[in-house]
Structure 1
Amino acid sequence: MDESLKIRREEAARILRLKGIRPITHRVAIYEYLRSNPIHPSAETIFLNLSGTLPSLSRTTVFNVLKLLCENGIVRRITVENDRSLYDANTCDHIHFKCTICGNVHDIFPSKFPEIELPYGFVASETQMNVWGCCSDCTRTLAANR
């Protein structure tokens, strides 16, 4: 294991401990992967990327670890497609921009996050804002091909 991966995994284990989660190998690896790859991967993507180095990892383990991380507020489950869940280790308020051309999901951090006025008696527990459109890379590619 290279030194930077070792340091990232130690940091992931520290954060898990702070949340009262025992930092076993699969939990640390999955959380470190999410922190190091802000690509908003699906559980399947996480499994495919980690199973080569963690042969004992199963799809069920990935789903269970993601559920645990979400329940403890360390990771967010996002849905920018019909029934497909993606995961994000960035839990601060931000907007997800899904490019309809390349399919990538980008984080957008507006200077002012939109406030939503809820009807009396309603209490929000979580907010997700998704925007669909064409990312800057795809916009440039489309413009160059005209």
Structure 2
Amino acid sequence: MNGHTGGQPYFALVDDDLHSARLLMRMLAAHGAPTVSWQENATLAMTELSAWLADDNASLPALVLVDLKSSSEATEQFVKQLRALPGASSLLVAAIAPTLERAHRDALLDAGADAVFQRHADLEFYRREAAAIISFWVRNQRLDAVGT
């Protein structure tokens, strides 16, 4: 991830699959997302997010999207670890899951995700989910936020 200090909103995407990350970034951009900063693995992402949270001058991501596929519980574990960091309660975190079955969704919400979205193989469903992510972000923006 690249640190952002310009005050413009951006998303942080934590995704351990290059092709998935590229597709999601294209879909988000097509639906009006701000810049997306991609981190290719959980370890690097946690290091960057920890540093940003500890730096009072750092511009925090407007949304942290977590889509880890290295294990069935990788996204859940990352969200738990992220929420344990000092100051992480101020982050808006969305998890992407292979299914929205109640057990999966509840586990991610219990871990600290603010929302859970489904990963789809069908491109049209994937587009709709990207639009839903943008809609979620828009609905959760702070009213006092201003760009420069």
TM over 0.5: no
Structure with more helix by fraction: 2
TM-score normalised by length of structure 1: 0.27
The structure with more radius of gyration = 1
TM-score normalised by length of structure 2: 0.27
Higher relative contact order (CA 8 A, sep 6+): 2
